[in-house]
Amino acid sequence: MSEEEKKPPVRPKPAAKKPEPKPLPPSPKQPVMDALATTLKEKFGESAVMEGYINQPNDHLCTLIISRENWLPVLQFLRDEHSTPFDYLQNASAIDYETHLEVVFHLHSLEKKEMIAVKVRLDHENAELPSSTALFPAANWNEREMFDLMGITFTGHPDLKRILLPDDWVGHPLRKDYVAFDKEV
Amino acid sequence: MIRTEEMLLNVGPQHPSTHGVLRLLVKVDGERIVEAEPVIGYLHRGTEKLAEDLSYTQIIPYTDRMDYLSAMTNNYAIVHATEKLMGLEIPERAEFLRVIVMELNRVASHLVWMGTYLLDIGAMSPFLYAFRDREQILDLFNELCGARLTYNYMRVGGVKWDAPAGWIKKVEQFTTYMQKQIKEYHDLVTGNEIFIGRTKGIGSYDQQTAIRYALSGANLRVTGLNWDLRKDAPYSIYERFAFEVPVGEDGDLYQKYLCRMKEIDESLKIVAQAVGEFPSEGKIMGKVPRVLRVPEGEVYVGIESPRGELGCHIVSKGKDKPWRLKFRRPSFYNLQILPILLKDENLSNLVAILGGIDIVLGEVDG
């Protein structure tokens, strides 16, 4: 046998290919999600719910994207009228996706031990949202924080001013286009 | 006729009774508080912004500096959220170590609260007792991970250090010792007439208010609501342990004190059970890639820190750094109710009510 025959033929390595994301199995929460989306659409019109999906890694969290016009009515409905009253504001956060801004409220029903995420999308230039302080007093400082760090104006807020940064600060640090004054820090 | 005039009183930011750098603008009419406005942000370090330029492992030490009285639970919040998004399996031994250190940290945190709170309202000696006992917990932590306050102990996938030889035995001894000490505290403080006079019926609020203001932890449970994330949204291995959730009735300061003292008891019960069932061997780190790339997605998890619901919201774009990281800091939410509680209250109750909320300014300011 010659030297060449002994060696197994060297195969070129297959080009690194991204594995196709497997389609997720249907979530057990899907009926809950569908019912909720249908109720909201019936009550506030077809355009009220822009998107609804289930965040599977996060314990099948129902996530709704609400149109800006219906933001407050939907929150009120979820708090007071829905069969599962989401009356506890667990977390409020804002995210800069570069294409748009997003405000997300994580609401909890202490009675039924259910959780839901409600989102609303905003433009960078016209980042305005009606304040939900009257519904959730807990949102007061949250909205001030979002105003301070993300530059979202909440109309109708009782005391909208910076909360964590000094009053004379320029810019909103959590925006992705924010330029830090001192790069070293 | 005697006329009184409204006066603006500035409390803090540097004042021992504000537990850090909280500033209060208090409008007083004689001794009555007309209006109180908290001013915060003196300790803002921009953790959330800094985290956007850090890898997931690098963020962990930053969380130590938020709630610096209970850094273990902070560590766990970020680590747990990351693990959830990555779908990682954690070895059993690591979970046990996590539960033990988190519960010990809860005891230490409540001891600091108890000591400083009584100091606030004029009792010196409980402070010394509380710090003596807390020191033992810090020594245990020091032996485990080499730090007394900023532990940087947990990692995505497990914990950094295994328990040294004899450590578990020491924890067991401490648990027995501490359970006896609690009795001493009750003898010293709980029945004290002055303490009862300063706290009973003061600063109370109802359940509806607590929910509207999204209070959590002892501040919520004191109104009679049984809500503890260790029971109601179980994480880690808490489901394996038997413990109770202490609740109050009418939400006054005395009940808050009782709630927190009982929580120490319950935490010690959990530690005792965890030490008893501690696996004799096993790994402390799960299978984790060297560079953590968290799959694209979003996750929010809340855990029960000594001060309430500590949440971590991660938005990932599949990189090794988070796109956006947000902490739901319980002190930040709990402090919001202060103006309501202080309205029309006597000025001498200001410090008692503020202390009862149990804030840590590192956490309020983030």
Shortest distance between the Cα of B50 and any Cα of chain A, in A, equals 9
C-alpha–C-alpha distance, residues B295 and A69, integer Å: 32
> Would an 8 Å CB–CB cutoff place A113 in contact with chain B?
yes
Percent of chain A having pLDDT more than 70? 84
Residues of B in contact with A136 (CB under 8 A): 212, 214
State the residue for tokens 């170590």.
B97
The tens digit of pLDDT for each residue in A142-183 reads 999 999 999 999 999 998 999 999 888 888 889 888 887 766
C-alpha–C-alpha distance, residues A56 and A64, integer Å: 14
Taking an 8 Å cut-off on Cβ atoms, the answer to whether A90 and B298 are in contact is no
Taking an 8 Å cut-off on Cβ atoms, the answer to whether B328 and A88 are in contact is no
8-state DSSP, B287: -
Angle between the B92-120 and B71-86 helix axes, to the nearest 10 degrees? 140
Which residue type, as a one-letter code, is found at position B99? V
Kindly give the residue spans of alpha helices, DSSP state H, lying in A1-66.
3-6, 30-44
In a mutagenesis test of the A interface, which of B206, B333, B365 is the best target, namely the one with the most A β-carbons within 10 Å? B333
Q: B172 and B275 in contact (C-beta within 8 Å)? A: yes
**Sequential DSSP letters for B120-155:** HTT--HHHHHHHHHHHHHHHHHHHHHS-SS----EE
- From the list B41, B85, B323, which residue is nearest A57 (CB)? B85
Q: How many CB atoms lie within 10 A of CB B254?
A: 22
Kindly give the residue spans of alpha helices, DSSP state H, lying in chain B.
47-51, 56-64, 71-86, 92-120, 125-145, 167-185, 193-199, 207-212, 218-221, 229-232, 253-276, 330-335, 338-342, 350-357, 361-365
CATH topology of domain A27-155: Beta Polymerase; domain 2 (3.30.460)
Cis peptide before B330 (omega within 30 of 0): no
- From the list A57, A93, A163, which residue is nearest B297 (CB)? A57
Shortest distance between the Cα of A49 and any Cα of chain B, in A, equals 20
The answer, yes or no, to whether residue A114 has pLDDT greater than 90, is no
**Strand, coil or helix: B363:** helix
Q: According to the model, what pLDDT value does residue B179 have?
A: 92
User: Alpha carbon of B67 to those of A93, A103, B61, B357: distances in Å?
Assistant: 20, 25, 12, 14
- Per-residue model confidence as pLDDT tens for chain B (366 residues): 677 788 898 887 887 777 788 899 999 988 889 999 999 989 899 899 999 999 999 999 999 999 899 999 999 999 999 999 988 889 999 999 999 999 999 999 999 999 999 998 888 899 999 999 999 999 999 999 999 999 999 999 999 999 899 999 999 999 999 999 999 899 989 988 999 999 988 888 999 999 999 999 999 999 998 999 998 888 889 999 999 999 988 889 999 999 999 999 999 999 999 999 999 888 899 888 888 888 888 999 999 999 999 999 999 998 899 999 999 999 999 999 999 999 888 988 998 999 889 888 888 988
Nearest to B260 by CA among B141, B358, B116, B172: B358
Strand order in the sheet with B32-39: B6-11, B23-29, B32-39
Radius of gyration of chain B (CA): 21
The pair of structure tokens assigned to B215 is: 């209070």
C-alpha–C-alpha distance, residues B190 and B201, integer Å: 15
> Would an 8 Å CB–CB cutoff place A88 in contact with chain B?
yes
The answer, yes or no, to whether residue A27 has pLDDT greater than 90, is no
Residues 6+ apart with CB under 8 A from A125: none
pTM: 0.90
| Bridge partners of residue A128, in order along the sequence | A153
Q: B82 and B146 in contact (C-beta within 8 Å)? A: no
Q: According to the model, what pLDDT value does residue B203 have?
A: 87
The answer, yes or no, to whether residue A185 has pLDDT greater than 70, is no
Shortest distance between the Cα of A67 and any Cα of chain B, in A, equals 20
The pair of structure tokens assigned to B138 is: 């810090």
The tens digit of pLDDT for each residue in A92-101 reads 999 999 899 9
C-alpha–C-alpha distance, residues B255 and B259, integer Å: 6
Predicted complex ipTM: 0.89
Instruction: Name the strand (E) or helix (H) holding B9.
Output: strand B6-11
B193, with CB counted inside 10 A (0-12, 13-18, 19+), is exposed
Q: According to the model, what pLDDT value does residue A18 have?
A: 56
| Bridge partners of residue A115, in order along the sequence | A108
The pair of structure tokens assigned to B258 is: 């009782």
- pLDDT-derived band at A14 (thresholds 50, 70, 90) equals low
C-alpha–C-alpha distance, residues A86 and A114, integer Å: 8
| Bridge partners of residue B10, in order along the sequence | B25
